[in-house]
Amino acid sequence: MKLVTWNINSVRLRQALVIDLIGETGADIICLQETKTPDKYFPTQAFIDAGFEHMHFAGMKGYNGVAIISRLPFENPEIFRRVGRDDCRHIAVTFPHFQLHNIYIPAGGDEPDRNINKKFGHKLDFIDDLRDFFSANYKPDMPMIAVGDFNTAPLENDVWSHKQLLKVVCHTPIEVEKHNAMQDSLNWVDVSRHFVPHEEKCYTWWSYRNRDWKKSNRGRRLDHIWVTPPLKNTLKNHDILTHARDMEKPSDHVPILVELA
């Protein structure tokens, strides 16, 4: 089974890129974040025509939004409200052999101080809420997958400069601490770092502000795939599709693919 996660930064604007991705990867399940469209405008027919008849999504005008599209049938589609907000950031479905969560954690604004930046406080509270949610409702021996734009680059080699980004939102010590606590909640396995050694640089996002993203290569690993321990031995292959950053009108994020045996 092949699963892909991608912050698409507007599914209506970039639905053709998703169709291309389907053809390129042969994915069975695709999770999208930042779809930026109310549900009534979600391009369901385009994905049905591509063989993805099973869909679950939650979207809103102009912001956020998450979607799961699948060749394979699933059950129990759920939409979760985190930290008391109905802002379309967390959905889940159940497949025969695992439960899948698709998550879009808030970016957190520009200033890493919750006393002057409410967005940063919202992000920290959101991660805490997820940690408590997973701990209270599931056990590490349950087969689960969590994917999405987590908006935190936790490791030193998940950013282009650890030293320069320590005070930049996405890599601050408090974000990393909370991210790690969420990961510890179910002993989640970080799939990208299961395949890519910690001492190697690994990115999934490059800013639109960089004229030549390849040359500057000031990337961050903001997008993640996690599995619980029962699925660790099924991990077969992994790829970060960096060439997607060169597509016409690309997202600033690139897809991550995992293949499970």
Contact 98/125 with Cβ under 8 angstroms? no
| Of the candidates 32, 87, 27, the residue with the CA atom closest to the CA atom of residue 55 | 32
What are the structure tokens assigned to 153, written together?
């680059």
- Domains of the chain by range and CATH? 2-260 (3.60.10.10)
The three-state secondary structure class of 148 is strand
**Residue 120 identity (one-letter amino acid):** F
* Mean pLDDT score of the chain: 97
pLDDT digits (tens, 9 = 90+) for 22-56: 999 999 999 999 999 999 999 999 999 999 999 99
Q: Determine the Cα–Cα distance for residues 37 and 9; give it in Å rounded to an integer.
A: 10
Share above pLDDT 90 across residues of the chain, in percent, rounded to a whole number: 99
Strands, DSSP E only, in 38-135? 54-60, 63-70, 75-79, 90-95, 98-104
Q: Which residue in the block uniquely carries the two structure tokens 């699925």?
A: 231
**Residue 226 identity (one-letter amino acid):** W
Asked if the model's pLDDT at residue 57 lies above 90, the reply is: yes
Asked if the model's pLDDT at residue 7 lies above 90, the reply is: yes
Asked if the model's pLDDT at residue 179 lies above 90, the reply is: yes
pLDDT digits (tens, 9 = 90+) for 108-124: 999 999 999 999 999 99
* The pLDDT of residue 139: 97
pLDDT digits (tens, 9 = 90+) for 190-237: 999 999 999 999 999 999 998 899 999 999 999 999 999 999 999 999
